[in-house]
C-alpha cells in the first residue's frame, strides 16, 4: 500500500465522519449538521455529538442535529457566517 493510498483512505474516512468531501474542501470553516453525529462510532463504542477537524486552513465543525441551536448561537456570538462546501 502506498502513502497516497493511505492518505485517500484516511480522507474518505474523515469525509464520511464529518459529512463533507475533504478532498474538494481546501480552506475555510464549514459547519456541517450531520445525523452521523448521533451514531456510535465503530471501534469507540460512543457517540461524538460534536467533532472539530482542523487541517491547515480547513476547519470542519460536524455536529448532531440536536445541537443545531447551540451551534447557531455560537456562530452568532463570534460573528461567523455559515460556509457550505
pLDDT tens string 18-70: 888 988 887 888 899 988 888 877 777 778 888 899 988 899 999 999 999 99
The helix (H) or strand (E) run that includes residue 59 is: strand 58-63
Once rounded to an integer, what is the mean pLDDT over residues 5-19?
Answer: 88
| Domain spans in the chain, listed from the N-terminal domain onward | 3-77
Give the predicted TM-score (pTM) of the model.
0.77
Lowest mean pLDDT across 6-10, 19-23, 32-36, 74-78: 74-78
- CB burial of 18-57 (b: ≥16 within 10 Å; e: otherwise) equals bbbebeebeeebbbbbbebbeeeeeeeeeebeebebeeee
Residue with cell 448561537: 73
Residue with cell 474538494: 24
Q: Return the pLDDT at 85.
A: 46
Lowest mean pLDDT across 3-17, 25-39, 69-83: 69-83
Amino acid at each position: 500500500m502506498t502513502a497516497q493510498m493511505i492518505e485517500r483512505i484516511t480522507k474518505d474516512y474523515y469525509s464520511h465522519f464529518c459529512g463533507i468531501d475533504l478532498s474538494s474542501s481546501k480552506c475555510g470553516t464549514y459547519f456541517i449538521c450531520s445525523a452521523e453525529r448521533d451514531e456510535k462510532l465503530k471501534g469507540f463504542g460512543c457517540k461524538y455529538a460534536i467533532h472539530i477537524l482542523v487541517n491547515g486552513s480547513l476547519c470542519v465543525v460536524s455536529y448532531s442535529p440536536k445541537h443545531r441551536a447551540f451551534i447557531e448561537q455560537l456562530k452568532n456570538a463570534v460573528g461567523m457566517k455559515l460556509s457550505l462546501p
